[in-house]
Amino acid sequence: MSEDRRKIFDAEVIDLLDKDCAAAWKKVWRDARRGDQQALAAAASMVLFRQLIPPSSVPLKEPRSILRHLVINLMTLYLYSWKDSFIEETFRSGFSWDEFEAPTEGLTLFDNKKDRDNFRNVSHCLKTRKDKDFCAALAVELKVIPSFKTYVTMIDKAPHAAFCLSTNAPRRSKEAHSIPLGPGLY
């Protein structure tokens, strides 16, 4: 995609995020599903910074199920877009899974110790290895994330559309863009 076309695309996605998160997801997913690094990075950034919840196979109504879906999708998108410089820098220190759990509120991300340990092993890999492809393969092997092909199929067939948790996100201005969508996506 040419630089001019990328800027137009980025502006369209940002505008859609302020109006219709499902449409913004669909626009980015068209390229992300083919493995386009910039589109995967944009999708990961939308999940991280705009709290966009990707399409799901089941209705997401409980806070725990929403949180789990968000985190698993974030890790999946990150691990498949790690070659993107913005994403690599953002997650250089791995994931701190404890930040995603709120035990005082009764929210836990993990059903059991094995799941928690598998997530932590992948996070440790992200912190310590330069070869992130190894970490992606480890995550698939430990069943932390699906293979890319399986992930694409799951998203494509998901009957429940993407949505954003924060519907009152600050409007963007030309002067201040505090929520980047990835390289070239501001």
Task: Give the span between the Cα atoms of 169 and 178, in whole angstroms.
Answer: 11
Task: Lowest mean pLDDT of 64-68, 88-92, 101-105, name the range.
Answer: 101-105
The three-state secondary structure class of 107 is strand
Is residue 105 one of the residues assigned to a domain?
Answer: yes
Q: How far is CA 91 from CA 37, 82, 125, 132, in A?
A: 15, 9, 12, 11
Model confidence pLDDT, tens digit, residues 130-148:
888 999 999 999 999 999 9
Q: Taking a C-beta distance cutoff of 8 angstroms, is the pair 32, 3 a contact?
A: no
Q: Taking a C-beta distance cutoff of 8 angstroms, is the pair 81, 151 a contact?
A: no
CA gyration radius for the chain? 16
pTM of the full structure: 0.78
How much is the pLDDT for 113? 87
pLDDT band at residue 2 under the 50/70/90 scheme: low
Query: For residue 168, how many other CB atoms are within 10 A of its CB?
Result: 6
Model confidence pLDDT, tens digit, residues 3-60:
655 665 677 787 788 889 999 999 999 999 999 988 999 999 899 888 899 999 888 8
Q: Taking a C-beta distance cutoff of 8 angstroms, is the pair 13, 185 a contact?
A: yes
pLDDT at 99 over 60: no
Is residue 136 one of the residues assigned to a domain?
Answer: yes
How much is the pLDDT for 13? 81
Is residue 180 one of the residues assigned to a domain?
Answer: no
Token pair 């912190």 in the structure block, residue:
127
How much is the pLDDT for 50? 86
Task: Give the span between the Cα atoms of 183 and 85, in whole angstroms.
Answer: 8
Q: Domain of residue 85: give its range.
A: 3-164
Number of domains in the chain: 1
Task: Give the span between the Cα atoms of 131 and 59, in whole angstroms.
Answer: 36
Is residue 110 one of the residues assigned to a domain?
Answer: yes
